[in-house]
Structure 1
Amino acid sequence: MLLDTPICDFGWKAPDFTLKNPYGDAFTMSEHLGEKGLLIMFICNHCPYVKAIATRLAKDTQQLMAEGINVLAVMSNDYQTVDADSPANMLRFAEQHGFSFPYLVDEDQQVGKQYGAVCTPDFFGFNHLGELQYRGRLDDARLQDDPNREPELVNAMQMIAAINKGPKQQTASMGCSIKWR
């Protein structure tokens, strides 16, 4: 089912969490909330929308991390029902697309629910205080690769890093619904 993300609730405080990657290494959100902010994104392996942007997502997040903006990805789908999203497949998908950010398993789906994540991809851009400043899309290229695309997520995160505020105009991300138990 195709869904759009809600509009940004500016200033909403990010709930802390600790999740593990498929190797069992734990990552705590508050430890990644750096001076230039934090991007938390809800993604999965099987969604055609995530697959379509995966290469651009890897490139854009590498740029953000190089600029000191931290990035965490969370997979909240019920992988017992959708085997393509299993931890083993998360490792393959991340390697295939060159993800350099931690890709975490939301085993009990609590983080997805706390954040109100609705689809994959769903992007949450926080300032250094953990206040939501961006809930938009990756770019304006949609499902196509476009060398002239507007990198809306990168631009928003750079703005948040510089002035702690995100752009007032944001276009919702769209994607597949999260597969809840």
Structure 2
Amino acid sequence: MVFLHFKSGGSFNGDQVKEIVCALEQSGHWFLWSLCQSLDPSKSLMASPTDYDDSSEVFLEGFSNRTHDIGKIIGCTLQVVILGHSVIGGFISHCGWNSTLKSILFGVLMTAWPLYAEQQLNVFELVRELGLAVEINIDSRRDVINRGELEIVRAETIKESGV
């Protein structure tokens, strides 16, 4: 089972969530996705992402029905609780330092999707130097101070990474 989690400032806007949804559905892989809503630009930089009030607004129509046998979307959760479970075989992550350490600790393979801060450096080390991860998009970066938007990564690119 693949676990998707981007909590520490790594939430996505609705358009990106839809692309991830397409990739998950088309892949047919079992998944557990801890989905958090994008940060509200009017809030403090230290604000934590929140659960969607109605996550159906970002899903394709019928997605939950078509994937109910292979996947589950949950709200924001603690990575360590999920990564420590024996059914988790892959982790799609922003590869922040804490996420990286937890994944290595539990021996869970990573698919890297860096978003900001030290994540690009972590991913470079994990993918190119250590061979502990594969990348979805190593070039993405978000200007956290100005809350810049990331370029949308299409479902096909996500699927090509092995999701």
Give TM-score, length-normalised by structure 1: 0.37
Structure with the bigger RCO (C-alpha within 8 Å, sep 6+) is 1
Q: Say which structure is richer in strand.
A: 1
Give TM-score, length-normalised by structure 2: 0.40
